[in-house]
Protein backbone atom coordinates (compact mmCIF):
# COMPACT_ATOMS: atom_id res chain seq x y z
CA UNK A 1 0.00 0.00 0.00
CA UNK A 2 1.29 3.43 -0.87
CA UNK A 3 2.02 5.93 1.88
CA UNK A 4 -0.98 8.15 2.44
CA UNK A 5 -3.39 5.82 0.61
CA UNK A 6 -6.55 5.14 2.62
CA UNK A 7 -6.95 1.61 3.92
CA UNK A 8 -10.25 -0.06 3.05
CA UNK A 9 -10.57 -3.45 4.75
CA UNK A 10 -13.68 -4.30 2.70
CA UNK A 11 -11.69 -3.76 -0.50
CA UNK A 12 -8.86 -6.11 0.22
CA UNK A 13 -7.27 -7.50 -2.89
CA UNK A 14 -8.38 -10.98 -3.81
CA UNK A 15 -6.59 -13.32 -6.11
CA UNK A 16 -7.77 -16.64 -7.45
CA UNK A 17 -5.97 -19.51 -5.81
CA UNK A 18 -5.63 -23.24 -6.20
CA UNK A 19 -8.24 -23.86 -3.52
CA UNK A 20 -10.81 -21.79 -5.45
CA UNK A 21 -10.19 -23.80 -8.59
CA UNK A 22 -10.26 -27.04 -6.61
CA UNK A 23 -13.61 -26.11 -5.03
CA UNK A 24 -15.17 -25.19 -8.39
CA UNK A 25 -13.91 -28.38 -10.06
CA UNK A 26 -15.08 -30.52 -7.12
CA UNK A 27 -18.56 -28.97 -7.20
CA UNK A 28 -18.74 -29.34 -11.00
CA UNK A 29 -17.56 -32.95 -10.86
CA UNK A 30 -20.13 -33.77 -8.18
CA UNK A 31 -22.91 -32.24 -10.28
CA UNK A 32 -21.78 -34.18 -13.36
CA UNK A 33 -21.63 -37.49 -11.50
CA UNK A 34 -25.06 -37.03 -9.88
CA UNK A 35 -26.55 -35.96 -13.22
CA UNK A 36 -25.10 -38.81 -15.25
CA UNK A 37 -25.78 -41.54 -12.67
CA UNK A 38 -29.40 -40.43 -12.28
CA UNK A 39 -29.86 -40.27 -16.08
CA UNK A 40 -28.49 -43.81 -16.44
CA UNK A 41 -30.90 -44.92 -13.72
CA UNK A 42 -33.81 -43.09 -15.38
CA UNK A 43 -33.20 -44.63 -18.81
CA UNK A 44 -33.34 -48.12 -17.28
CA UNK A 45 -35.91 -47.71 -14.50
CA UNK A 46 -38.39 -45.46 -16.29
CA UNK A 47 -38.38 -47.14 -19.69
CA UNK A 48 -41.56 -49.09 -18.83
CA UNK A 49 -43.42 -46.01 -17.69
CA UNK A 50 -43.52 -43.30 -15.05
CA UNK A 51 -43.26 -43.70 -11.32
CA UNK A 52 -45.84 -41.62 -9.50
CA UNK A 53 -44.51 -39.98 -6.35
CA UNK A 54 -47.44 -37.71 -5.43
CA UNK A 55 -50.39 -38.80 -7.56
CA UNK A 56 -50.25 -37.03 -10.91
CA UNK A 57 -48.64 -33.94 -9.38
CA UNK A 58 -45.03 -35.18 -9.24
CA UNK A 59 -43.78 -38.21 -11.10
CA UNK A 60 -40.57 -39.59 -12.49
CA UNK A 61 -41.03 -39.94 -16.26
CA UNK A 62 -38.45 -40.52 -18.96
CA UNK A 63 -38.41 -37.84 -21.65
CA UNK A 64 -35.82 -36.78 -24.17
CA UNK A 65 -35.36 -33.14 -25.11
CA UNK A 66 -33.55 -32.27 -28.35
CA UNK A 67 -34.05 -28.57 -27.70
CA UNK A 68 -33.32 -26.10 -24.93
CA UNK A 69 -35.03 -25.28 -21.64
CA UNK A 70 -38.77 -25.96 -21.50
CA UNK A 71 -38.43 -27.99 -24.75
CA UNK A 72 -37.95 -24.81 -26.76
CA UNK A 73 -35.82 -24.73 -29.94
CA UNK A 74 -36.42 -28.40 -30.81
CA UNK A 75 -33.98 -29.61 -33.47
CA UNK A 76 -31.38 -26.96 -32.65
CA UNK A 77 -29.26 -29.36 -30.56
CA UNK A 78 -25.96 -28.69 -32.34
CA UNK A 79 -26.33 -24.92 -31.94
CA UNK A 80 -27.31 -25.34 -28.28
CA UNK A 81 -24.33 -27.69 -27.83
CA UNK A 82 -21.90 -25.15 -29.29
CA UNK A 83 -23.42 -22.47 -27.03
CA UNK A 84 -22.89 -24.81 -24.05
CA UNK A 85 -19.23 -25.20 -25.01
CA UNK A 86 -19.01 -21.40 -25.03
CA UNK A 87 -20.60 -21.22 -21.57
CA UNK A 88 -18.10 -23.79 -20.26
CA UNK A 89 -15.23 -21.69 -21.68
CA UNK A 90 -16.64 -18.50 -20.18
CA UNK A 91 -16.98 -20.10 -16.75
CA UNK A 92 -13.42 -21.44 -16.89
CA UNK A 93 -12.22 -17.93 -17.77
CA UNK A 94 -14.28 -16.42 -14.93
CA UNK A 95 -12.69 -18.83 -12.45
CA UNK A 96 -9.37 -17.07 -13.07
CA UNK A 97 -10.75 -13.92 -11.51
CA UNK A 98 -11.00 -13.20 -7.81
CA UNK A 99 -14.30 -14.60 -6.56
CA UNK A 100 -16.14 -15.14 -3.32
CA UNK A 101 -16.96 -18.66 -2.16
CA UNK A 102 -20.65 -18.35 -3.08
CA UNK A 103 -19.63 -17.33 -6.61
CA UNK A 104 -17.17 -20.21 -6.91
CA UNK A 105 -19.81 -22.74 -5.83
CA UNK A 106 -22.41 -21.13 -8.11
CA UNK A 107 -20.06 -21.23 -11.10
CA UNK A 108 -19.10 -24.81 -10.25
CA UNK A 109 -22.77 -25.85 -10.28
CA UNK A 110 -23.47 -24.08 -13.58
CA UNK A 111 -20.30 -25.60 -15.05
CA UNK A 112 -21.25 -29.11 -13.91
CA UNK A 113 -24.80 -28.75 -15.18
CA UNK A 114 -23.68 -27.42 -18.55
CA UNK A 115 -21.20 -30.28 -18.95
CA UNK A 116 -23.79 -32.85 -17.81
CA UNK A 117 -26.26 -31.82 -20.51
CA UNK A 118 -23.45 -31.39 -23.04
CA UNK A 119 -22.44 -35.02 -22.46
CA UNK A 120 -25.96 -36.08 -23.48
CA UNK A 121 -25.70 -34.01 -26.66
CA UNK A 122 -22.30 -35.55 -27.41
CA UNK A 123 -23.03 -39.22 -26.70
CA UNK A 124 -26.79 -39.80 -27.08
CA UNK A 125 -27.11 -38.81 -30.74
CA UNK A 126 -25.81 -39.91 -34.12
CA UNK A 127 -24.45 -36.57 -35.35
CA UNK A 128 -22.50 -33.60 -34.10
CA UNK A 129 -23.94 -32.54 -30.71
CA UNK A 130 -27.43 -33.63 -31.75
CA UNK A 131 -28.16 -36.03 -28.90
CA UNK A 132 -31.27 -35.38 -26.84
CA UNK A 133 -30.94 -34.51 -23.17
CA UNK A 134 -32.53 -37.03 -20.80
CA UNK A 135 -35.11 -35.42 -18.52
CA UNK A 136 -36.84 -37.46 -15.85
CA UNK A 137 -38.23 -35.29 -13.04
CA UNK A 138 -41.73 -34.35 -14.14
CA UNK A 139 -43.85 -32.09 -11.96
CA UNK A 140 -47.24 -31.64 -13.61
CA UNK A 141 -47.04 -27.87 -13.22
CA UNK A 142 -43.58 -27.41 -14.77
CA UNK A 143 -41.63 -28.90 -17.72
CA UNK A 144 -39.59 -32.05 -17.05
CA UNK A 145 -35.98 -31.55 -16.00
CA UNK A 146 -32.91 -33.42 -14.73
CA UNK A 147 -30.01 -33.14 -12.29
CA UNK A 148 -27.97 -30.93 -14.61
CA UNK A 149 -30.87 -28.49 -14.95
CA UNK A 150 -31.20 -28.43 -11.16
CA UNK A 151 -27.48 -27.71 -10.74
CA UNK A 152 -27.65 -24.85 -13.26
CA UNK A 153 -30.70 -23.34 -11.55
CA UNK A 154 -29.21 -23.57 -8.06
CA UNK A 155 -25.90 -22.20 -9.37
CA UNK A 156 -27.60 -19.19 -10.96
CA UNK A 157 -29.54 -18.52 -7.73
CA UNK A 158 -26.25 -18.60 -5.77
CA UNK A 159 -24.64 -16.21 -8.26
CA UNK A 160 -27.58 -13.82 -7.95
CA UNK A 161 -27.47 -13.99 -4.15
CA UNK A 162 -23.73 -13.39 -4.28
CA UNK A 163 -24.27 -10.35 -6.48
CA UNK A 164 -26.60 -8.89 -3.84
CA UNK A 165 -24.07 -9.23 -1.04
CA UNK A 166 -21.78 -6.28 -0.34
CA UNK A 167 -18.15 -6.62 -1.38
CA UNK A 168 -16.07 -7.90 1.50
CA UNK A 169 -18.68 -10.36 2.75
CA UNK A 170 -17.65 -13.94 2.18
Please answer whether residues 57 and 139 qualify as being in contact, where contact means their C-beta atoms are separated by less than 8 angstroms: yes
List strand residue ranges (DSSP E) for 33-108, in order: 51-54, 58-65
- Name which of 66, 69, 56 is nearest 138 in CA terms: 56
Q: Choosing from 35, 120, 138, 149, which is the catalytic residue?
A: 149
Contacts of 99 (CB under 8 A, 6+ apart): 14, 16, 20, 107
Active site residue 170: no
Q: Choosing from 135, 138, 169, 170, which is the catalytic residue?
A: 135
The C-alpha atoms of residue 125 and residue 96 are separated, in whole angstroms, by 33
Active site residue 17: no
Residues recognised as catalytic: 135, 149
Amino acid sequence: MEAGAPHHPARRERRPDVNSHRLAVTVAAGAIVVDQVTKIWAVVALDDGPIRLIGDVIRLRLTRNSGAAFSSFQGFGPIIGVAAVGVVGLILWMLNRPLRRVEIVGLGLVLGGAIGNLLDRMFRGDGFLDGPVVDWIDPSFFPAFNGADSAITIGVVLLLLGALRPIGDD
